[in-house]
Chain A
Amino acid sequence: MSEDEKKELLASGHRMCAGCGEGTAMRTILNEAGPNSIATVATGCLEVTTTAFPQTAWEIPLIHAAFENAASVAAGIESALKQMDKKGETNILSFAGDGGTFDIGFQALSGMFERKHNVTHICLDNEAYMNTGIQRCSSTPYGASTTTSPKGKYSIGEDRPKKPIARIASAHDIPYAATACIGYINDLKKKVNKALEADGPAFLHVFAPCPTGWRHGSSDTIELAKLAVETGVFVLWEAEDGNICDLNVTYKPKERKPVEEYLKKQRRFAHLTEEHIEKIQKEVDEKCEEYGF
């Protein structure tokens, strides 16, 4: 391995919050992708914390254009490099948060998948619009209190379930779609490589806790990321060629922990009653049954 390849590709000194799950995710993903990569990033925490002029934390070429179009900017890059015979082995990565993937960026993402650009889109999911101050998104889970779905006398917080984005992505019949979590780094690394090796568009849904938005201790990030998987709240799987009926669950906890263990460590769920927690447990149980564990 050359010196260059050993270099961290997301330089230290960025401005992410202490305990930010995105930092761990980004460091892992960029180091797996290596220096022969070009990235686009949607507006959001990642862009704000890593690109403040005149500094940049990026050791690979990066372009940030706007909120809803990381995938279409990446599509332009990929087509241009192909046209100019320069694509070679260059990885094209498109990064967006959950807002830039599930909501505002969904159309651009769907178009990029459908046109079969050789781009890997990576969604860093912290389950709300964190950069603008913890507003609900279609990624926000049932029961979470956010600034636009606050708990209250007549509100339990977010009252709809999380949108199954990775299944929707996979339903575009793309070569590779997977969920991953920063609590399972080796699994994440494997999936990054599979996504980059795929001949065509790939999607990675990376679960990354946010101490600021979830209101948990900044030293609990990894533990919470693991708990999300151990409780079955977030399931790690991968699917090839849109085959979501026969997806591969990449990690099955031997014994699932109760969801309460995951919920009680976060103040966004602190208002939930036993009944609410039971309801969530029931839904998680049903989901895990679907996934076969």
Chain B
Amino acid sequence: MGEQKGLTIQGNMATALGAKLSRPDVIPAYPITPSTLFPEKISEYIADGELDASMIRVESEHSAMSACIGASAVGARTCTASASQGIALMHEMLFIAAGMRLPIVMAVGNRAMSAPINIWADHQDTMASRDSGWMQFYAEKNQEGLDLMILAFRIAEDERVLLPAMVGIDGFVLTHTVEGVQAPAQEDVDEFLPPYDPPHGKLDPEEPMTFGSLGTPEYYQELKYDQTKAMDNTPEIIDEIFDEFEEKFGRNYNRITPYRCEDADIILLTMGSMTGTARAAVDEMREEGEKVGLAKLTVFRPFPSDLLKEIAGDVHGLAVVDRNISPGFGGAVFAECAGAFINEKKSPLMKNFIVGLGGREIFKKNFREMYEKTKKAVETGKVEKPVEWINMDEDVMR
């Protein structure tokens, strides 16, 4: 076991380093704020001879994902990076990558969707790709961004999985923010992540095979069932690989990580960089005697309904904090959480809070407010407004 190296780097550098340690063969990428530093760093690695890979400087994100598909289909380990409008432009190709069961990995700098144009953090971009068949991982800090890249390749390429994966780090809050990370030694990553060899065939003149056939109504539904089943089977494989990672590198990952939840009455559920602020707010409130806990969602797809029920099944209130909005419903994570408890005899009372859209700051006081509102609902047994927007201009809310 090699020694891990302490570095102080930005989030994009951490995901780029995670990618580099994973030894990708091909990286087709197109610049977009706030993920641009990823392809820049990869280009630098290649230019300096630190990474032996082919970078394709494509003319659009659509072509980035298209080239990823071509490269992955011949058996290359392939990754890219994108954000916001870029992910929207490649939306079509996300479904095709998943449908062909290609284990492509994408580093995302999570960013709001236009209009109005906004380059700052929120999760709208990847939430809009929720149904594309990609696994989705979200990092709280740069270390997680680095580790989750390596984990994403390993999980995606597992013969029992073979699905693409995206790793989200919040725009600017993480992508451009310097933090300390521990970088695993190359030989240890090599051991953890062996070279990719497609187990079910690739584009090879020695053994011709057709990818991306026309699937008529007689076959389409079964093919989609198989693909969905692969995703349904991933939770225990993810757990197994998370465990192996911890054993090797000493850092613990869970699909959902509970914090001070043992005797909690109310749990706040968060995703991404806001979790650190939420944890500080929970600590403060705990000191004040409030029975509040925190659940951090790391794996959004496949959605960990099983773990959520274990963690929040006995609490009175669950406050789901969404950094995205599905107009006409509420937050996307809220919908998943509500779905997790369907058909359960016992379910916490749930409230949804929309926060941090387009880079709006999220403060400790905001989490306190969410907690108070959830507590009030629990005490009265009534949820007057299931979905509330937090940290808003009062004039607009009148």
Residues of A within 8 A of B (CB): 35-38, 40, 47-48, 51-54, 56, 58-66, 68-69, 72-84, 86, 90, 107-108, 110-111, 114-115
Contact = CB atoms under 8 A, between A and B. Distances in A.
A94 B213 CA distance: 16
B93 A79 contact: no
5 contacts: A58-B208, A58-B210, A77-B203, A80-B72, A108-B59
Given A74-B70, A77-B73, A56 B210 contact: yes
Contacts of B62: 68-69, 72, 107-108
Task: Name the prevailing secondary structure of the A interface residues.
Answer: mixed
A35 B206 CA distance: 8
Given A65-B100, A66-B96, 8 more contacts: A56-B210, A61-B205, A62-B209, A63-B211, A76-B68, A76-B72, A83-B52, A107-B63
Given A75-B70, A115-B57, A36 B216 contact: no
Given A63-B212, A76-B28, A54 B219 contact: yes
Given A63-B70, A63-B203, A79-B26, A51 B210 contact: yes
Contacts of B203: 38, 61-63, 77
Given A38-B203, A83-B54, A111-B59, A51 B214 contact: yes
A72 B211 contact: no
Given A60-B205, A84-B76, A52 B71 contact: no
A292 to B, nearest CB: 35
Contacts of B93: 65-66, 69
B285 interface: no
Contacts of A38: 74, 203, 205
B208 A77 contact: no
A146 to B, nearest CB: 24
Contacts of A37: 205
Contact of A65 (B26, B60, B69, B214): B69
Contacts of A72: 28, 58, 62-63, 66-67, 70
Q: Which of A52, A53, A79 has the most CB of B within 10 A?
A: A79
A65 B205 contact: no
B53 interface: yes
A75 B205 contact: no
A80 B208 contact: no
Contact of B210 (A62, A66, A110): A62
Contact of A80 (B58, B71, B96): B71
A73 to B, nearest CB: 4
A74 B54 CA distance: 14
Contacts of A59: 208
Contacts of A81: 74
B227 to A, nearest CB: 14
B215 interface: yes
Contacts of A115: 56-58
A82 B54 CA distance: 8
A119 to B, nearest CB: 10
B68 A107 contact: no
Interface residues of B, number: 44
Contacts of A54: 213, 219
Interface string B7-29: 00000000000000000011010
A65 B213 CA distance: 9
A68 B90 CA distance: 12
Q: Which of A62, A68, A73 has the most CB of B within 10 A?
A: A73
Contacts of B25: 80, 83-84
B204 interface: yes
Contacts of B75: 80, 84
Interface string B183-211: 00000000000000000000111011111
Nearest to A110: B59
Given A62-B210, A64-B211, A83 B76 contact: yes
A82 B26 CA distance: 10
A201 to B, nearest CB: 14
B59 A56 contact: no
B388 interface: no
A66 B96 CA distance: 8
A74 B74 CA distance: 11
Nearest to B210: A56
A74 B93 CA distance: 14
A95 B181 CA distance: 46
B92 interface: yes
A14 B205 CA distance: 20
Contact of A73 (B52, B53, B67, B223): B67
A261 B271 CA distance: 69
A70 B338 CA distance: 41
Contacts of A114: 59
Given A64-B212, A76-B28, A111 B69 contact: no
A57 B60 CA distance: 32
Nearest to A54: B219
Given A72-B58, A108-B66, A80 B76 contact: yes
Closest 10 CB pairs of A and B: A76-B70, A76-B67, A111-B59, A80-B76, A72-B63, A80-B71, A64-B212, A69-B66, A72-B66, A73-B70
